[in-house]
Structure 1
C-alpha cells in the first residue's frame, strides 16, 4: 500500500462516518466530499445554492491548508454533485468567483440525493508539490 497520511482539521466539518477528511499520498491530496456544512455549528448553512457552494469551497480549502497547501490554489481536479442541474449556473457563478484564470479540471454530475438532503457537494484532488 502507498505511504498515505490522513489529514484532519477542526476547520472543516467532521463526523462519525468511517472516512478521512483528506488523505495525502506524497504530493497529492485527495479531499473527501463536502456539503455546505459550517464546521463551527455542524449545520447546513442558510442561503441559496451559490452561498452553499462557497461554504463547500471553504471546507475543501481548510483541508488543503491543513495538509500544508495553499487552499483552492492547489486544486487540480474537482467533482461537483448537484441534485438539480437547474442549479448549474448559480454554482458556476459561485465557483468561478473563487478561482483565477486557471481553474482546476472539473466534472459536474446530477445525482438523485445527497446526505442531509443538501443540493450541492464537491470533492477535490490537490497537488501540494
Structure 2
C-alpha cells in the first residue's frame, strides 16, 4: 500500500514562520498555505501604510510560496481572508482580485478580533499542484 507523500515548502522569498508552523505543506497534489500577513520577507517587519500595502505584500508572499511549490495563483482552489475591520472589504478585494483573473477560488472572508503583529489582513489558501483541466 502506497503511503501519502508530505513535503514542507519553504522559501526565503516569503517571511519565515513566526511560530511552530511551516509556510506551506504539500500532501500529494494538495498544497496548504499558512496564513500570510504583510511582513517583508527580508526584514520580517510589517509593511507600512495600512490595509492596501499589507494586502499587496500578503499576495506577494503567497505568490512566492506558490512558486516554490511549483504552482501559481491559478492553482488556488480555496482561500480564507481574515480582516481586522470588515469595512476594508472593498480595498482588500480589489488587491486580491489582481491575482485571480479566471476560475476564481472558493473563498471565505471574515472579520476577526485581532491578527498577529497587528496586521489588518491575513490570507490562507489551499491549492492543487500539477496540471489542471477546467471543465465548463
- TM-score of the two chains, using structure 2 as the length reference: 0.88
> Could you say which residue in structure 1 is the equivalent of 2:86?
85
Task: Structure 1: give runs of 5+ residues left out of the alignment.
Answer: none
Q: Which has the larger radius of gyration?
A: 2
Q: Compute the displacement of 1:16 (Å).
A: 4.6
**Equivalent in the alignment of 1:116:** 117
Distance change (3 Å), C-alpha of 1:68 and 1:94? same
Runs of 4+ in 1 over 3 A off after TM superposition: none
Q: How many residues align?
A: 128
Conserved in 1, the CA contact under 8 Å of 2:17 and 2:23? no
Report the TM-score, using the length of structure 1 for normalisation: 0.93
- Structure with more of its chain in strand, by fraction: 1
Determine the C-alpha separation between the residues in 2 that align with 1:16 and 1:46. 19
- 3-state SS, counterpart of residue 124 of structure 1: strand
Contact 2:32/2:125 (8 A) holds in 1: yes
Deviation at 1:17, TM superposition (A): 1.3
Distance in structure 2 (CA, Å) of the matches to 1:27 and 1:17: 25
Gaps of 5+ in 2: 131-136
CA RMSD of aligned residues (A): 1.3
